[in-house]
């Protein structure tokens, strides 16, 4: 792969517009594929309702109402599961030949992946909003500051965006959409469940608690809880942001490199 100054200049000039084009394309695809909308909306809402009403009574969360404990966690879980769609979408584009079309066009190289992630992040904003609405209907309340209330869903969206890059690296490395899906869930499930998403980590066996306590998911969820409940949030927030920065530092270049070496 040869990178010239010419190419870099063209990249910088065209990237914003080209990313927007790909964003638009992906948003249209979401709107027109009902199965994707179902995956994006009904599933997260169902999770909120099932956990709140089925598990809620059985999981002790101290003085905090379970729905208040649950909602930040389940927001993080939803954006994480949602991030798998980045890889699936890219794998579909590779299989269908769309990527080849894009790569013969004089467009910014980053646009296909970045446009995809921008669309998936837009969807995450929508999903997070929807789940907050459903949460409010079944009793979720903020207990902290207004700034915390605004920051909490923002952290969730940022977290989802981070994992979209991991998913993008997977989607551009495998050959099939189904493989991308499996290759994502196989590590996402343990990552989500071995964390403070659904239960306090203190209830886990010691060795597992250590793992859970240091997971990016736990740190992010704890930061979101702190922001929503008005409790301490700075320490987990800093750790969560450090995790996100670390993941991005590895997976943004990896995804871009994988995309460029598709042949």
Tokens encoding 146: 């207004």
- Contact between 176 and other proteins (CB under 8 A)? no
CB 64 within 8 A of CB 145: no
- Contact between 101 and other proteins (CB under 8 A)? yes
Residue ranges in 196-235 that form contacts with other proteins under rule CB under 8 A = none
Q: 78: Cβ–Cβ under 8 A, 6 or more apart, which residues?
A: 43, 44, 47, 124, 127, 128, 131
Choices 103-111, 120-128, 183-191, 228-236; region in contact with other proteins by CB under 8 A: 103-111
- Give the shortest CB-37-to-other proteins separation in angstroms: 12
**CA distance linking residue 197 with residue 203, whole number of Å:** 13
**CA distance linking residue 35 with residue 48, whole number of Å:** 20
Among the listed residues 258, 66, 67, 63, the one whose alpha carbon sits nearest the alpha carbon of residue 175: 258
- Contact between 39 and other proteins (CB under 8 A)? no
> In the block, which residue shows the tokens 């403070």?
196
Identity of the residue, 7 or 245, whose beta carbon is nearer to other proteins in the bound complex: 7
Q: 95: Cβ–Cβ under 8 A, 6 or more apart, which residues?
A: 175, 176, 177
- Contact between 32 and other proteins (CB under 8 A)? yes
- Contact between 10 and other proteins (CB under 8 A)? yes
Residue ranges in 70-99 that form contacts with other proteins under rule CB under 8 A = 96-98
- Give the shortest CB-98-to-other proteins separation in angstroms: 5
- Residues at the interface with other proteins (CB under 8 A): 1-2, 4, 6-7, 10, 14, 17-18, 21, 24-25, 28-29, 32-33, 96-98, 100-107, 111, 263
């Amino acid at each position: 792969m040869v990178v010239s100054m010419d190419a870099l200049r063209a990249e910088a000039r065209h990237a914003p517009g080209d990313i927007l084009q790909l964003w638009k394309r992906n948003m249209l695809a979401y709107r027109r594929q009902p199965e994707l909308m179902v995956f994006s909306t009904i599933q997260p809402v169902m999770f909120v309702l099932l956990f709140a009403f089925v598990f809620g009574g059985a999981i002790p969360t101290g003085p905090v109402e379970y729905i208040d404990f649950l909602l930040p966690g389940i927001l993080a879980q939803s954006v994480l599961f949602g991030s798998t769609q980045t890889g699936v979408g890219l794998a579909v584009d590779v299989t269908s030949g769309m990527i080849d079309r894009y790569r013969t066009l004089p467009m910014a190289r980053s646009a296909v992946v970045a446009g995809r992630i921008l669309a998936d992040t837009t969807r995450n904003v929508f999903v997070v909003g929807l789940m907050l609405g459903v949460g409010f209907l079944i009793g979720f309340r903020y207990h902290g500051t207004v700034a915390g209330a605004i920051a909490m869903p923002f952290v969730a969206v940022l977290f989802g965006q981070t994992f979209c890059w991991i998913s993008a690296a997977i989607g551009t490395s495998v050959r099939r959409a189904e493989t991308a899906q499996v290759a994502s869930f196989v590590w996402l499930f343990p990552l989500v469940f071995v964390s403070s998403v659904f239960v306090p980590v203190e209830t886990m066996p010691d060795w597992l608690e250590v793992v859970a306590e240091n997971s990016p998911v736990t740190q992010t969820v704890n930061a979101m809880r702190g922001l929503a409940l008005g409790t301490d949030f700075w320490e987990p927030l800093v750790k969560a942001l450090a995790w996100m920065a670390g993941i991005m530092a590895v997976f943004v270049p990896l995804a871009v490199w994988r995309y460029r070496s598709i042949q």
